[in-house]
A = this chain, B = another copy of it.
């Protein structure tokens, strides 16, 4: 069996760190990778500063099988991701003929100014990632995929690059909700986690509109049988505590 592939996300942009913008790309990429059976192990956010981008990228690309960056590939002076990636890899940078031609066709020769041409610049050796929303492509070099920061474009680029990634064994997850305080479940849950060490069990409390307590218990693992066995142990534990267990298919949750 192949070793599980791992990935990291590097979000690039002052606007995330200033609080102007709520990042959603980490979550989008996390869910994309889950479907591919690739483990997202780490995410980082850095500002529009070449030194910080290079340091983070070099740390992540040597630790993980794949790195996905978002942000900083537009036409303005604060879009410095392509230069930073070239610096991290120690390669030059220049216009990619295919990107240049596509952007020139999109804007027309008169409107294809020097700044817009910046969007055709990629590190030497990089290949393009198609952008079905606008003409400006992403790119990939080595194990690094460079995506736009605009969420709709990041999503389109993920779809375009998906065939380049291996299909790993997917993580199977079962979520069980129950109207009981987390602290009452905790001791038995710890024992279940010990007895089902090939799964990872997470516990996420919530409060109901009328002030009651509830908990979502999530079992995750690559062995469907092992996940099912742990889920059944949790259901038995909840029932013994007098709390009805209910399997749910959760939407993306606020934490």
Contacts and interface: CB of A to CB of B under 8 A. Distances in A.
Nearest to A45: B43
Given A15-B253, A27-B23, A203 B42 contact: no
Contact of A253 (B20, B74, B115): B20
Given A22-B27, A107-B183, A149-B255, A15 B204 contact: yes
Interface residues of A, number: 74
A236 B156 CA distance: 35
A252 B40 contact: no
B252 A21 contact: yes
A173 interface: yes
Interface stretch (A90-98, A159-167, A187-195): A187-195
B22 A74 contact: no
Contacts of A27: 16, 19, 21-23
Interface stretch (A75-83, A124-132, A138-146, A224-232): A75-83
A183 B34 contact: no
A14 interface: yes
A254 B22 contact: yes
A46 interface: yes
Interface in A175-210: 182-187, 189-190, 193, 200-205
